Amino acid sequence: MKQIAIYGKGGIGKSSISSNLSVNLASEGYEVLLIGCDPKSDSTINLFGGRRIDTVLDLYKKGITDPNKLIFDGYKGVKGVEVGGPAAGVGCAGRGILVALKTLNKDYYLEKGFDIVIYDVPGDVVCGGFAGPAREGYADEVYIVTSGEYLSIYAANNIVKGLFNLNVKMGGIIGNMRNIVNEEQKIESYAKEIGSQLITAVERNSKIHESEIEGKTVLEKYPNDPLNLKFKEIGNKILENKKSKVPNPTTDEKIRSILGGLY
């Protein structure tokens, strides 16, 4: 069993990759649990035909804390959880994640025999709460999603700083392409710079958002599309990955010079 956390800049494709990866692994017979940790609660939406499942924190508010009732059956039998959180501009989402993880009770769900548990975590590490899924006892390793764009790598490096400070292992980088020059090379050079690896790069492909419009993953809408093989490849590499280690953050100047050198 492996627990992983996916971090990366907002909008970079964490949830798309997490959900597509989940259903493709499930279609190969793996037991998958996907835990969305974004207060926006949109990580699992494509496992449920566009439906938003009740979030842990909304249920918690109603006094429902039985872990069985917080986990839902999604497409291909992937189990989905949304942590949920406050409306924008009020309360404390970070605290929400910590409380939700505690309520979910990992001792309980880890006993269920999942092959992989995926935490899809929002944005950069913004406060201690958002680092919760990366703490001891939760994710064994972290994967960062990034494109080759400067701001995306800059955000990735901030996350790497967080991992370094918290002494958390990183499994590698998953590239999600924005179609810029030498993109894969740029991401790969950055990965090497911080002592990590590029797992693979996902092409920019409109099938991802076409499926999303119908509340589906690519597997559900285009079962035979080769893109699914890409997600299976990512999943299997993650399951087999033995090369995770604590990364070393680099400097802003270094990022600029890596990217600048590849134009």
Partner 1 sequence: MMNILTPRPNPIVAALYTLRDLDVDVAVLHGPSGCGFRAARLLEEDGMKVVTTSMSEEDLIFGASDKLIEVLKEIDELFSPKTIGVVGSCVSMIIGENVKKAIIDSGLKDKAFFVEIHGCMGANTRGAIETLKAAMDFGLIDENEFQRQEKMLLLATEVESNSGMAKSKYTRPSRGADLRTVAEYIVNLLKDKKKIAVVLNAKKETAYLFADIPLAINLASKKYGGSIINVCNLSKIVGLSRIKRYAGDIINNYDSNGITIDYISGGLDEYPIAGKNAIEYLKDKDFDLLVAVGIPQALPILNKESIAVTNGPREVHPLEDAGYKYVTVEIASHSTVMGIRDIVLSELGEVIRDVAGIQ
Ligand X SMILES: Nc1ncnc2c1ncn2[C@@H]1O[C@H](COP(=O)(O)OP(=O)(O)O)[C@@H](O)[C@H]1O
Sign of CA dihedral 10, 50, 141, 193: negative
Q: Considering the complex, what minimum distance in angstroms separates the CB of residue 120 from Mg ion?
A: 6
Closest CA to 46 of 218, 248, 201: 218
Q: Kindly list the strands in the beta sheet with 170-176, ordered across the sheet, starting from the edge strand earlier in the chain.
A: 72-73, 79-82, 32-36, 116-120, 2-8, 141-146, 170-176, 198-202
Q: Is 131 or 255 the residue whose CB approaches partner 1 more closely?
A: 131
Q: Considering the complex, what minimum distance in angstroms separates the CB of residue 212 from ligand X?
A: 5
- Residue where the block lists tokens 């949304």: 82
The two three-digit tokens of residue 259, written as one number: 């990217």
**Active-site annotation holder among 38, 120, 124, 140:** 124
Is residue 62 annotated as part of the catalytic site, yes or no?
A: no
Residues 134-173, one symbol each (x = binds ligand X by CB under 6 A, - = not), give: ----------------------------------------
The answer to whether residues 42 and 51 touch, using CB atoms and an 8 Å cutoff, is: no
Q: Under 8 Å CB-to-CB from 98, ≥6 apart: which residues? A: 128, 129, 132
Pick the binder of ligand X from 5, 7, 16, 228 (CB under 6 A).
16
The answer to whether residues 154 and 252 touch, using CB atoms and an 8 Å cutoff, is: yes
Q: Which does 169 bind (CB under 5 to 8 A by kind): partner 1, Mg ion, ligand X, none?
A: none
Residues of this chain, 180-209, that bind ligand X according to CB under 6 A: 202, 204-205, 208-209
Residues 61-100, one symbol each (x = binds partner 1 by CB under 8 A, - = not), give: x-----------------------xxx--xxxx-xx--x-
Interaction of residue 23 with ligand X, rule CB under 6 A: no
Interaction of residue 133 with ligand X, rule CB under 6 A: no
What is the rounded distance in angstroms from the CA atom of residue 47 to the CA atom of residue 160? 29
What is the rounded distance in angstroms from the CA atom of residue 231 to the CA atom of residue 21? 5
Is residue 14 annotated as part of the catalytic site, yes or no?
A: yes
Is residue 40 annotated as part of the catalytic site, yes or no?
A: yes
Q: Which residues of the chain form contacts with Mg ion (CB under 5 A)?
A: 14-15, 38
Q: Which residues are catalytic?
A: 9, 14, 40, 124
Site residues for ligand X per CB under 6 A: 8, 10-16, 176, 202, 204-205, 208-209, 212
Q: Which residues bind partner 1 (CB under 8 A)?
A: 57, 60-61, 85-87, 90-93, 95-96, 99
